Amino acid sequence: MSVPEKGNSVSGSKKNNSYSKALKKIAAYCAYQERAISEVVTKLDEIDLEEDEKEKILQNLIEQDFINEQRFVRSFVKGRFNLKRWGRVRIRQELKMRGISDQLVQEGLELLQPEEYHDTLLHLAERKWKLTHESDLYKKKSKVGRFLIFRGFESDLVWEILEQFKTKDEL
């Protein structure tokens, strides 16, 4: 059995051990996918550590580039638009809920190409129009419009697209 160094107690080594375990756990959490700082802070709050240790872990992860909010925003915007087909409004709202600054949100939304954005909106509108079984044209437009607005597309763009659908047999 080794003799503990001066000022080093058994409880201190347990603390050090729990700190290193927590650091590894949170590093793995961040390595799995891009995370916002607020998500990492929430995860750290689940771990039984002192506040200064949590801050130290967070700072360590930022310095080692495990957490990068700019990279997170780019990944989030591209993923939500390309995979989930969300519009700018919903993407902005989700990023704000994660505590992302307005400047980073704006930079992320600028990654969306206007032509691709419009094509996606048109594709979703056409698909939903065909799948909506409603004889009343006004009700059909309302249902499709609500669907697209819920997806996060700007209402003026949605209604502009839906005005092109003059008759129910058009598409």
Share of the chain above pLDDT 90, in %: 74
Asked whether the predicted pLDDT for residue 171 surpasses 70, the reply is no
What local confidence, expressed as pLDDT, does residue 42 receive? 92
Please give the pLDDT value at position 33: 92
Say which residue, 163 or 150, is predicted with more confidence.
Answer: 150
Q: What pLDDT, on a 0 to 100 scale, did the predictor assign at position 165?
A: 78
Residue 77: per-residue pLDDT: 97
The residues near 129 (Cβ < 8 Å, ≥ 6 apart) are 140, 144, 165, 171
**Sign of the alpha-carbon dihedral angle for 106, 109, 115, 120:** negative
Amino acid residing at 10: V
Buried b (16+ CB within 10 A) or exposed e, 24-37: eebbebbeeebbbb
**pLDDT-derived band of residue 17, with 50, 70 and 90 as boundaries?**
low
Rg of the Cα atoms in the chain: 24
